[in-house]
Amino acid sequence: MLALHNITLRVGKEGAEQTLLKDVSLHVPLGHHLAVIGPAGSGKSTLVKVIAGIHAHSEGMIHWQGYDLEEKDIAPHDIGYVPQFSIAFDHLTVLESMHDAMRLRVKGMSAELRNTRAETILREVGLLPIADRRVKVLSGGEKRRLGLALELVSAPSLLITDEVTSGLDPKSEAEIMQLLHRLTRNRDRIVVNIIHNLRHISLCDSVAVMCHGHLVYHGPVPQLLEYFKVNSPEEVFPKLATQPAIDWHKAWLKHRDAYEIFRSPMPIAIDSRQATPTVEAPHPIAQFFVLLERRWRIFFRDRSQVWMHLALLFGFPCLVVIFALEGLPAIQNLSMTPDVNILDQLREANAFIIQSTKVGRLVSGLVMIQVVLLTLMGSNNSAREIAAERLIFEKEKLGGLRTISYLASKACFLFVLLAAQSFWMALFVNRICRFPGDLMSQILLLLLANGAMTAVCLAISSLMKSPEQASLVSIYLVGFQLPLSGAVLGLPEAFRWLTRPFIAAYWSWSGVLQTMKDTRFYDVVQLVTPTDLSPLILCFWALTCHIVIGLMVAYLGCKQSRWE
């Protein structure tokens, strides 16, 4: 049984709190289909999210199968939550989505067993004939069915749906309501179903009516009309507007004994350690490999993404070498001939200074262009990586996905991209422009610069509310790399020291130039740059710290719940 006892939920800071739920109590037995209805803003979605554990209630108790959820959350395998949004990736097929869901949620299933289980569930929800169809071409009703199918892979005892029939045509709506009704009859399962259209409410065993955070009725569907003194379920909402919600709630407290036939005494809490799950979640390493394989599959099926990355990979190095297609110019020596008159010596010295200045600016500029372009690629790699699929991630996290597995799969996927970008940039520019210095050190520094920006933008992606917002902030961050690094503009010394620790472009630029320390190019660069060059080892450590801190912040951002 599912039992709620005086559930209250408040949000906001102390002194400015807002009560979203107030003293909600109801009892739902196994094998039961409960409809939750109410006007917009009545607290329906908030209530089911509290039951699912998405929102933590402020007061009251929730008991599930005899134990208190304050002590133990509902096991991921025991609950299925189907939100209003699609919980599958557009570029995967229906069958692939089912297989991935089983591999992420259920441990120890062979490929043969997964196929059998997937076919059984898809047949049950009516999607088996289109199992090979990609999600992006499914209709609204088919996506709702797929959402239900994905939640059934672990055979949950509690299935919660949040207006999955909203916006569907009458035929699809009727079919999904009949499906939910059957799901409670085939197994010992509770289905809590938020509905807006009351046309098929007779398929539910009971109905809970919410009004401005208050429960104002919970009982059999036929007695709903009697209680509110209306002729049809559709007249309930207008009737609720005739008096304040608190008055309806007080009236319900007086009369509920005559209507709510499912009330029971407070369950005796059992030791949660005795509740052994029948389904075990896969190991985090197993989840990691499933996520990584899925990410690459999605990447190669998104042709626009593939072509964009190829364009950046091969196009950006060409933007660098266009300034030195014939290689870096040689630095001429002063003749220092004693019999040359003083005027000729001055002319020669002036020409040497002019030529050295040009070469120094060219070398410094070429290095900085490489670095900034790689930071731009790093931003492009990761700015939308988490934010664009955040709701799907939150749903999978509710189903037992570990955050560390998710973030590790993202890091490995992005590492392959940034390694290819950085290696090709360094190798191509080095061969065309004939850069002096240790090539391997230069490759590593460019890779670290790309990795630093990738990690920082991944953190931004985990903290932002939308992919558009994450992309905008990341682009701004890249835009500040060039001027704030001080490598091109002579910033005030105090400002340079204040901003330098946070600018990946500076550390990579400085480190690459340090690899040329034994050449004359290093000397001419120092003649033209107002920025101090940091030791090579410090550059390596600074960029490594950027990567570590970025990944740590990304982990904390992923751990936070971001359903809204």
Q: What does the block give as tokens for 416?
A: 């392959």
CA pair distance 102, 111, nearest whole angstrom = 10
- DSSP H or E run through 62: strand 59-64
pLDDT value at position 176?
Answer: 85
pLDDT value at position 277?
Answer: 43
Collapsing DSSP to helix, strand or coil, 215 comes out as strand
Give which of 490, 483, 493, 485 is closest to 529, Cα–Cα.
Answer: 490
pLDDT value at position 496?
Answer: 74
pLDDT value at position 20?
Answer: 92
Q: What does the block give as tokens for 464?
A: 């932002």
CA pair distance 383, 16, nearest whole angstrom = 34
CA pair distance 367, 513, nearest whole angstrom = 8
Token pair 């996520």: residue: 291
- What is the block-wise mean pLDDT of the chain (564 residues), using blocks of 10 residues? 90 82 90 91 91 89 80 78 87 96 91 92 91 92 89 90 80 85 80 89 92 93 90 90 92 84 47 48 94 97 94 93 81 58 61 74 89 94 95 92 97 97 94 89 96 97 94 91 70 76 92 90 82 91 97 96 80
Neighbours of 75 (CB within 10 A): 21
Domains and CATH numbers, the chain: 2-272 (3.40.50.300), 315-559 (no CATH)
pLDDT value at position 434?
Answer: 86
Give which of 487, 484, 480, 473 is closest to 530, Cα–Cα.
Answer: 487
Give which of 274, 557, 282, 555 is closest to 400, Cα–Cα.
Answer: 282
Decide the pairing of beta strands 79-82 and 214-219: unpaired
CA pair distance 200, 197, nearest whole angstrom = 8
Helix axes 467-479, 439-463, angle to 10 degrees: 140
Task: List, as one string, the DSSP characters of 126-172.
Answer: T-GGGTTSBGGG--HHHHHHHHHHHHGGG--SEEEEESTTTT--HHH
CA pair distance 50, 72, nearest whole angstrom = 14
Q: Are 192 and 160 in contact, with CB atoms under 8 Å apart?
A: yes
Q: What does the block give as tokens for 203?
A: 């398929």
